[in-house]
Chains A and B, each alone.
Chain A
Amino acid sequence: EVQLVESGGGLIQPGGSLRVSCAASGFTVSRNYMSWVRQAPGKGLEWVSVIYSDGSGGSTYYADSVKGRFTISRDSSKNTLYLQMNSLRADDTAVYYCARRRVNSYGPLDFDFWGQGTLVTVSS
């Protein structure tokens, strides 16, 4: 059974750093395209970042709003996806979801499974 469990959210001051995690079970993270999506309180979904599978070169891409501040990565030994967030701002406050691309799908963002999300609050 595929499961994604995010953790690491919390309250952080503006300008600070935080790393959120997404522990996967039922499949191998490194063999799949994985993304982070966020949702500010009361707002819509925003795609944040994607990391391609090892077989596709492991490339990473970022939304303009986070480029240069956020880094997506994975640890194969822990089967876990990460999002390192630096220089955090108030408008980064959101629930952060990880999502898996459907196996053997053509679209890089053809998500099937999502985690339940972890809340990051940036405030002084």
Chain B
Amino acid sequence: QTVVTQEPSLTVSPGGTVTLTCASSTGAVTSGYYPNWFQQKPGQAPRALIFSTNNKHFWTPARFSGSLLGGKAALTLSDVQPEDEADYYCLLYYSDSHLGVFGGGTKLTVL
């Protein structure tokens, strides 16, 4: 069974920078996994932030960026704002099985 791993929780100060990562139990994450990142606030549906590794939707704030880092997918938040406090999920696509697997999510606290 494929497992996608994220940091369970991270804390960042307002105005700071934080990087969230997303690892696959099958090995290094590459662009072929089309990593996606989503933000979810309590009581709300998820909101798409990043698709196919590093592409932003038109509504994605410029302070959010996606990349590949050390064999993992990464989401970097710069100049963090209080409203960025939320759960963040990555999603990887496994082309051999045509299946998607979400990471367990990272709870980001802005303090």
Q: Which of B36, B40, B45 has the most CB of A within 10 A?
A: B45
Q: Mark A41-54, 1 if CB is under 8 A from B, else 0.
A: 00011110010000
Q: List which B45-67 residues lie within 8 A (CB) of chain A.
A: 45-48, 51-52, 57
The interface residues of chain B lying within 8 Å CB-to-CB of A46 are: 102
B105 touches A44 (CB 8 A): yes
A27: Cβ under 8 A from any B Cβ: no
Of A11-19, A71-79, A81-89, A107-115, the one contacting chain B is A107-115
Report yes or no: A109 in contact with B45, Cβ–Cβ below 8 A. no
Given contacts A44-B102, A45-B102, contact A111 B45 (CB under 8 A): no
Contact of A112 among B45, B57, B103, B105 (CB under 8 A): B57
A residues at B contact (CB < 8 Å) = 35, 37, 44-47, 50, 59, 61-64, 97, 102, 105-117
Q: Which partner residue on chain B sits nearest A62 by CB separation? A: B99
Check B36–A108 contact: CB distance below 8 A: no
- Would B47 and A109 count as touching, CB distance under 8 A? no
Contact of B48 with A47 in the complex, beta carbons under 8 Å: no
6 additional A-B residue pairs with CB within 8 Å, beyond A107-B34, A109-B91: A35-B100, A44-B87, A45-B91, A64-B99, A108-B34, A111-B36
> Judging by beta carbons under 8 Å apart, are A114 and B51 in contact?
no
Chain B positions near chain A (C-beta within 8 angstroms) = 1, 34, 36, 38, 40, 45-48, 51-52, 57, 87, 89, 91, 93, 97-105
Interface residue from A47, A62, A106, A113 paired with B52 (Cβ < 8 Å):
A106
The answer to whether A110 and B36 touch across the interface, beta carbons within 8 angstroms, is yes
- Min Cβ gap A71→B in Å is 16
- Beyond A47-B91, A106-B52, A116-B45, is A63–B98 a contact (Cβ under 8 Å)? no
- Which of A107, A115, A116 has most chain B Cβ within 10 Å? A107
Nearest A residue to B45, CB-CB: A114
A104 to B101, CA, bound (A): 22
A-side contacts of B1, CB under 8 Å = 64
